[in-house]
Structure 1
Amino acid sequence: MTSFLERIGTGKYRANPRFRSGFPVILALFVAACSQELPSRPAESIDLQQYVEPGWFLRPPGVESEVSCDGALQVAKCWLTLDNRQGCTVWQEEPLAGGATVSWSGKCEDGRANGEGILTIAWPNLWHRGSDSVHEGEIKNGKRTGHWVLRHSFLTEQGEYRQGQRIGPWEISSPSGWSITERYMIRGPISE
């Protein structure tokens, strides 16, 4: 994983879109805010505020955002409008790199993705061919639930979602043969 912040020759910092997990992003933002290496200027000059939902760090556990997002680089959780379904949204728990397009092969009911299907996330050919992700599983009322398999060009992840959040053990394996297991816990109440 490359670092979230990348210093450019002009002395400004910009977001690097090659990240996967929400925790490192939040940690990077915290470190950037506390670091003495950063120039002492307003946060606007670092240009990260445009990617963060206002007040995301003040929301108590279990409280959802009503913010929608459009596939631009985003760090906060949001309702993402599907590119192949007009007026249909899916809950996006994890960060997405800028320019991503998201499509869903399943049903759409009352403006939310529903049922079994394939969620495909495609990025412009910024990095390399085959950088799209194919996620297979069930969505209820716009949120991932049950067993999911996430296939990326460089690894496969599988595990459980509950109300749009990863929970329990997740196995991550690569085509070269290595495999690790991550364990996810949900902080706060989850209602079925």
Structure 2
Amino acid sequence: MKIIIPVVLLLIILISSDSFSQAQNGQFVKDTKSGCLVWNDVDAAMTVTWSGSCKDGYADGSGTLTWFDNNNIVATYIGEMQKGYVTGKGKYIYEGWGSAEGNFVNGTLQGNGKILMLTGGKLEGNFVDGELLDLDASYLNKLKKIDSGIEDTQEIYRGNGTLFYYALAPQNVKGVLVLLPSTGEGAENVISCNKKLMHLCYDNNILSVVLSTNYNKGLEADTAAMNFLNTTFSDIIKKYNAPADKFILSGLSLGGENALQYTEISRSGKFYTSIKPLAAIGVDPPVDMANLYDRAKEEIALYTRDSANLTDSKKAALNEDYFLIDYFDKLYGGSPKEVPEKYVEGSQYSLNHPDGGNAKYLIDVPIRIYTDPDISWQMKYKTRDYYHMNCVDQSAMINFLQISGNTRAEFIPALGKGYRLDGLRHPHSWSIVDADECITWMLNLIK
């Protein structure tokens, strides 16, 4: 049973059930009752039962496949099997989490499908390799996945061994919008979240591309990520005859950091860049790494004092804070107090630095930062105040740029606009970007 499903449900399952951490290699296991063989690439310790027929010793035809962990049901599949694989129409039910329904090929959703979560979330549409890839048919047919030929030896993308990018290319390319994923986010999810914007880009002769970068370090310390970005941008220029001076970089969270930082590096001369972006968009990115570190420390202290009463949302935030502290300690070699210059170098903006740190390289660049500053949501679900939200540093950065003379630096508070692809409310989401207004802004820049 190869469970490849969109990031939202996958993360829930992986975080909450050790049994569903995918193994590197699979094997056939026997139905404990009939001895019928079923493919298992989840956990060798799990057992199965199959109610349908066997053909040449393998589960085949229609029936019910049930997965057990220590005699507890963890998943049930009702539908078609072929030669021991979940292949055909059917429905998976994941105990305690939700269900996935549609056409499966070797255990993954392919084509039209639907995922329902007990939290109320819902994903429905076209699935490719278990990921929702939901453009309208006329656009989906034109979407291309380009293999870069670069092996991901440094793990700058979680989910694939070879780096790639998606491209939705009009016939006459007048500009390029680059969309960069957040941490752990699949490229397919980025496409689905930006469905309307990508449609509008195509209709207005703007090439939209999505790159496989969702786990890179800061670009100042990640040569593999910089090499992939530079190589991909050069390939896009050559393959699509795209104007090198009409690239607009955009990204959510980590992707927004990457968009802003690459643009800064292109002006600073510290490292080689294959393009100088025309503009950059940050969708709720953290921009001051020193403040981000300090906030994480404060949140850990707050959450641990109330550890017995933490909700799942707050537990997730606590885990993220622990991860961030450990990650920054390793990346920079210590805390902001110990190595302040490292944090300035790795930040897109430094509040406590007289010249704004790297933000000074954006004084002549059109910059947009979008945020959903819903303080009520943050207080309820994360126990955060304004001092612990990205919008504080974001607004300070844009204010610095405007004071420094950048009349095209914009801070856009999209209050109440943040919703995830599954329909659930979350301020930290792609949906805070208004596609119609954004395309108008981009067209004014590239004309």
TM (norm. structure 1) is: 0.50
State the match for 1:152 in structure 2. 94
Listed as ranges, the matches of 1:52-131 within 5 Å are 74-86=23-35, 88-92=36-40, 95-97=41-43, 99-124=45-70, 131=73
Shift of 1:158: 0.9
Instruction: Quote how far apart the aligned CAs of 1:85 are.
Output: 1.6
Q: State the one-letter code of the partner of 2:100.
A: E
Give the match's secondary structure for 1:132: strand
Question: Contact 1:169 / 1:184 at 8 angstroms: preserved in 2?
Answer: no
1:4, CA displacement in angstroms? 6.8
Structure 1: 4+ residue segments shifted above 6 A: 2-5
The residue type paired with residue 49 of structure 2 is: S
> SS of 1:180's equivalent?
strand
Aligned residue in 2 for 1:17: 18
8 A Cα contact 1:171 1:180, kept in partner: yes
What is the identity percentage for the equivalent residue pairs of Structure 1 and Structure 2? 24
One-letter amino acid of the counterpart of residue 151, structure 1: I
Contact 1:17 1:97 in 2 (8 A): no
> Of Structure 1 and Structure 2, which has the larger fraction of its residues in strand?
1
Cα shift readout 1:99-148 (whole Å, capped 9, x = no counterpart): 311010001121111111000001116xxxx6521100011222222211
Q: Which amino acid aligns with 1:179?
A: K
Provide TM-score, normalisation by structure 2.
0.23
Deviation (angstroms), 1:77: 2.9
For each residue in 1:18-63, what CA deviation from the matched residue of structure 2 results, as whole angstroms up to 9, or x when unmatched? Answer: 546x5xxxxxxxxxxxxxxxxxxxxxxxxxxxxxxxxxxxxxxxxx
Residue matched to 1:26: none
- Structure 2 residue matching 1:161: 3-state secondary structure: strand
Shift in Å at residue 76 of structure 1?
1.4
Alpha carbons of structure 1 residues 111 and 162: separation in structure 2 relative to 1, 3 Å: same
Contact 2:46 2:69 (C-alpha < 8 Å) held by counterparts? yes
* 1:52-91 CA-partner distances (Å, limit 9, x unpaired): xxxxxxxxxxxxxxxxxxxxxx4313222222222x2122
Tell me which structure has the larger Cα radius of gyration. 2
Instruction: Give the aligned length.
Output: 118
Q: Does the aligned pair in 2 maintain the 1:160–1:166 contact within 8 Å?
A: yes
Say if 1:110 and 1:19 are closer, same or farther in 2 by CA, change over 3 A: closer
The answer to whether structure 1 residue 184 and structure 2 residue 184 are counterparts is: no
The structure-2 alpha-carbon separation of the partners of 1:157 and 1:3, relative to structure 1 and needing over 3 Å to count, comes to closer
Structure 2 unaligned segments of length 5 or more: list them. Answer: 1-10, 131-144, 146-447
Q: C-alpha distance in 1, partners of 2:14/2:33?
A: 29
